[in-house]
A and B are shown apart, each in its own frame.
Chain A
Amino acid sequence: MDWIDAEVEAPLTLRVNGVPHSVRIDTRTTLLDALRERFGLTGTKKGCDHGQCGACTVLVNGRRINSCLSLAMMHADDEITTIEGVGAPGALHPLQTAFIDADGFQCGYCTSGQICSALGMLEEVAAGWPSHVSGDLMPAPPLDLGEICERMSGNLCRCAAYPRIVAAIQSYAASREGEGA
């Protein structure tokens, strides 16, 4: 690789939801702005733009991150999943359905971040990662109310739909367990 000069739009290809998107962008462009402004993937939201709210949460190689605190250029080798890749109208992901069934939102602004975050969170639990509230660091943590709240604390909801967000996640997690997933 070589230097990309400031204020020069340089070519970049990002794989988002399995599809390569090629653009020319300024080095300053965050992953969030590239998704929204350049690829038209406006499902991912900008709340604070400073890592404080979680509205911009996307999955990068299966891991949840804040897309506002990352440069688009840092992700040329990554597989990015946004809410548009999680499910689509008519073909909703079961977690999206669970949000509807549980009424897990009011305005909906935080919802795509909540859903991407919850998907990442469930993988972390499946991998046996402990959290701040886990009593013991070693055994696989339970997915109880306290664990869900702590693990989802990086996603704020200004409508305070928290109880129903947690209910949606719980019901989806229970159905997944039922399927042995």
Chain B
Amino acid sequence: MIAFDYLRAADRDQALSAAQSRDGARFIAGGTNLLDLMKLQVEAPRRLVDIGALDLRQIERTDEGGLRIGALVSNADLAAHPLVRARYPVLSRAILAGASAQLRNKATTAGNLLQRTRCYFFYDPAVPCNKRTPGSGCSAIGGFNRIMAVLGTSEQCIASHPSDMAVAMRVLDARVETVLPSGERRALSLDELYRLPGDTPQIETHLQPGELITAVLLPSPPTGRQTYRKVRDRASYAFALVSVAGIVSMEQDRISGAALAFGGVGTMPWRDRAAEDLLVGQQPSRALFDQAADTVLAAAIGHGENDFKIPLLRRTLAAVLGKLTETVA
């Protein structure tokens, strides 16, 4: 690990000003992603502002009937919270499907959203990677790429976003509340938070330097049934190859509302409103689910080893929709 200055901030104001006072400062929350990468010198911040002592560990109801989740709420506490289990089960399920119990105890809500890709070449400073070393090339394109994305990729980077939690947050229309170094606050949808790789895969979000995530806001619980289905190489403690978060409501025998988000397949937690719109008002059937999959996958690009993710996503989506509509897929 490259040596770094360290400050454990007492409160938010100190964290914000500390991050400004010395160049190259980064926040550290649980540390389970940042330290992992620092040990390999994939990340080498010269200054760390530890935000672990900040008062951002509450889960509160909002006036709008939703929840405000403090940025430092651990993944374990969030998944186990009675209101989350009862009203946002897709979120509990997604978190519980990820990492291990030890990691979930340490990992935080904001840190989980901002965790970086698990692309093997990103983790290996000896080989080219545009995300780690801009302009050096991409070792995954034309190389081993079984775990890479098929949606939202560019010619510079095809790395998948690894978070399970973020997929559930995306399907729930979560918003990220932040505070800028100036003290100004803003709220971003996950669509506004994340960036596609394009020509700058090293820039993953629209956050500004020194911008602190303070909370994640959930709107009031959606109507309908919720589920999270994760497909992976091992039954536990493995990242998603493909995952689907779904919320579907029915009126009589027709779908009256649908929200779908996808993990493991996109360069950011993926959502496709056109596929959702196509389902609404229709009677569930395998043909309909296939049409939805066609829409989601219209722009999908396989890179060889990861070609299997395209049919796997189709089948996982059909299984999820079959379950949520209580029809056999």
Contact = CB atoms under 8 A, between A and B. Distances in A.
Contact of A124 (B31, B50, B101): B101
Nearest to B234: A153
B79 A129 contact: yes
A57 B104 CA distance: 13
A79 interface: no
B80 A57 contact: no
A73 B50 contact: yes
Contacts of B4: 6, 27-28
A177 interface: no
Nearest to A78: B52
Interface in B14-49: 14, 18, 22, 28, 30-32, 35-36, 39, 46-48
Contacts of B1: 28
A54 B104 CA distance: 13
Given A27-B4, A74-B50, A130-B92, A57 B102 contact: yes
A33 B99 CA distance: 23
A70 B14 CA distance: 21
A64 B102 contact: yes
Given A6-B3, A77-B53, A128 B80 contact: yes
> Which residue, of B47, B85, B89, has the highest number of chain A Cβ atoms within 10 A?
B85
B106 interface: yes
A50 B6 contact: no
Contacts of A28: 1, 3-4
A138 B84 CA distance: 10
A167 interface: no
A51 B103 contact: yes
B101 A121 contact: yes
Nearest to A151: B101
A153 B97 contact: no
| Chain B interface residue bracket vs A | 35 or more
A144 interface: no
A17 B316 CA distance: 47
A69 interface: yes
B231 interface: no
Contacts, number: 130
A28 B103 CA distance: 20
B237 interface: yes
B76 interface: yes
Nearest to A132: B96
A76 B103 CA distance: 20
B58 interface: no
A74 B253 CA distance: 54
A63 B102 CA distance: 8
B101 A1 contact: no
A168 to B, nearest CB: 18
B105 to A, nearest CB: 5
Contacts of B52: 74
Nearest to A49: B39
Contact of A117 (B9, B50, B101): B101
A14 B102 CA distance: 20
Given A74-B28, A132-B236, 18 more contacts: A2-B7, A4-B6, A6-B3, A6-B6, A7-B3, A27-B6, A51-B100, A64-B101, A65-B105, A69-B30, A70-B35, A71-B6, A124-B80, A130-B85, A137-B85, A137-B86, A150-B236, A154-B102
* Among all A-B residue pairs, the 9 with the closest Cβ atoms: A154-B100, A153-B236, A6-B3, A27-B6, A129-B80, A137-B85, A132-B96, A153-B237, A28-B1
